[in-house]
Structure 1
């Protein structure tokens, strides 16, 4: 499923100009009114690849997933844990409040591997993150175009930071074993995936919506 996009509509405006000239013997014909062109249809544009100059990118500081073995008695759930922080929040709080402020959001979800449908679960579901001192966070997983998409190690994640009710920012991170995820599966079938040290933090550019 394609990611949500920001729509930008540009209205085309045409003007007409007529030269008025009159003489006593040969008056000019009336000016012809040109039709206004139709406004073009909305054109979707992706989230900017670079933040506004005054915004620092979000930092995804941790990602860890766990897949059970599937053996009798084992957990039926795959778990995913993400940690994100908006460094801009330090400028949104009084300096006296920074020392004890909670700025990192913990974003967790789980899904059952039994009867799992990789085309549906756990994608396109909005989840709340843990409480922070500036607004609140939500996140949503999306299927990637990777050769082997998997919501535990190859996926897109969209975060929304609701700084205020009328001030919301959105950004998308790409997590993949080809770039920033490492891990392995044991002989029992248990798999663990995480951000490798050389890729931390993962920078996520945001845009206001």
Structure 2
């Protein structure tokens, strides 16, 4: 049984004919805050884009196949996690997406959940993901956001121990989390 996943689109509507991005793994961690424990909280995720992008300008045979990435955000245990934009590590297997253009770039920004009484950077938060593709001096940029939360019908599970260590991950039945993306800049690629 699939749990309904809350995902929202930035912009007016999802870009037509694009398959949603797929988040196949996500986990969060927060240390106990005790002396000699790690000073870092973090989120780690894996995302894949199953779309193939083709240039609409010469050379017409240039294309970028599906692109995957891992993203890692860390912040001091007592610090603010929201608003940090981090570069993700692209893990696509092709070495020349869009011919000789620079490799695709993924970024991730952590955001508070609007209107949530229980917003937390560990178990009730939003992630905005951005994919930038460059070709022949121009670029296309796509964005999508998804919410991650604990509770009935939500997509996270986990626990906080008596020592204060907390760890959460995607529920098996929530995988993959689908993220609808919108083209926010460009138009060179189709």
> Shorter-chain TM-score: which interval?
0.7 to 0.9
Do 2:15 and 2:183's aligned partners in 1 also have CA atoms closer than 8 Å? no
Residues 42-191 of structure 1: pairs in structure 2 closer than 5 A:
46-48=10-12, 51-89=14-52, 103-114=67-78, 116=79, 121-133=80-92, 134=97, 135-144=104-113, 145-164=115-134, 165-178=138-151, 179-191=154-166
CA deviation profile, 1:142-191 (whole Å, cap 9, x unmatched): 11122211111111110000022521101011111131011001122111
Do 1:66 and 1:78's aligned partners in 2 also have CA atoms closer than 8 Å? yes
Q: Residues 46 and 138 of structure 1: is their aligned pair in 2 closer, same or farther, counting only changes over 3 Å? A: closer
TM-score, scaled to structure 1: 0.66
5+ residue gaps in structure 1? 1-44
Do 2:10 and 2:181's aligned partners in 1 also have CA atoms closer than 8 Å? no
Across the aligned residues of Structure 1 and Structure 2, the Cα RMSD in angstroms comes to 2.4
Q: Distance in 2 between matches of 1:123 and 1:140?
A: 8
Does the residue aligned with 1:198 lie in a helix, a strand or coil?
A: helix
* Richer in strand (by share): 2
Count residues with an aligned counterpart: 153
Do 2:10 and 2:145's aligned partners in 1 also have CA atoms closer than 8 Å? no
* Residue 182 (structure 2) pairs with residue 207 (structure 1): yes
| Structure showing greater Rg | 1
Q: Residues 46 and 167 of structure 1: is their aligned pair in 2 closer, same or farther, counting only changes over 3 Å? A: closer
Q: Larger relative contact order (C-alpha < 8 A, sep ≥ 6)? A: 2
